[in-house]
Structure 1
């Protein structure tokens, strides 16, 4: 579990994240989860970007194979199944509500932004909207912290325990 405060982000981390995203990384405050090879998988981003934009997605999935896997699950409409689970299983719904509160507390360590007060990510606490965000939270906070993120990880073709990183073209220095 790599929750705030995070270790310092290296220039190499930022180069890899930028390569993963295909654009410069913005306002990264930490690497919240890493591949077994050490490459960033999830970044944590300031709740207000340096250009003033509110940014509710504190945990952001950057690993290209992981993001593709979540996109595949989303295209299969698994979010409908997970949203129904929230409605049908009070224990899962309660755990998801706790995940929402934990997410807000983690982000709140980096500042409060009025425009996004009470807004976490991925549809929390009552629906499932974005598996990318929920899996990012699950990877950052650890197993059991986000039940829907855990389910999506289990259903995906990607595993955080097996390196499938592409060559980012980033030197080791």
Structure 2
């Protein structure tokens, strides 16, 4: 059961009610939800490959800034040059697929994860969502993006300037 206060917070963050939400997958240091875990098929029947969906506008805005910096192209290039990084990223892809499949099989997205995994970086939002949900060590490029984000919540109206 998801706390009604969390549902209200996410609805405010998104500007609409959340769809297909299973649980809160991550929270910012203030305790507010910043990501959710979703069903692989939305209630209207739409296949939805994004298992971890970020909801915090401050977080998604900061990730958009990283994306605009050219980071995704640089990460994709590194995947072609660094076999160890590529293997770890492929393992993140396989983990993502296994976790989503355990929730339910959706033929249309079978074998397709999200964010460009396993061969490229297409969406840092997905990779960051995966890293925030699972913790460090699962998605190496998501972990890197999380580190680059720093304290994105620091001047947010929902969080104190010093979350410690």
- In the superposition, the TM-score normalised over structure 2's length comes to 0.91
Q: Tell me the CA shift for residue 157 of structure 1.
A: 4.3
User: RCO higher in 1 or 2 (8 Å CA, sep ≥ 6)?
Assistant: 1
Query: Within 5 A, what are the aligned runs for 1:6-155?
Result: 8-155=1-148
Q: Deviations over 1:72-103 (max 9, x none)?
A: 01111110100011111111100100000111
Task: Tell me, in whole angstroms, the C-alpha distance in 1 between the residues paired with 2:23 and 2:154.
Answer: 20
Identify unmatched segments of 5+ residues in structure 1: 1-7, 169-173
- Count of matched residue pairs: 159
CA RMSD, Structure 1 to Structure 2 (Å): 1.6
Identify unmatched segments of 5+ residues in structure 2: 160-164
Give the 3 Å change call, closer, same or farther, for CA 68–124 of structure 1 in structure 2. Answer: same
Task: Tell me, in whole angstroms, the C-alpha distance in 2 between the residues paired with 1:157 and 1:113.
Answer: 35
Give the 3 Å change call, closer, same or farther, for CA 76–33 of structure 1 in structure 2. Answer: same
- In the superposition, the TM-score normalised over structure 1's length comes to 0.86
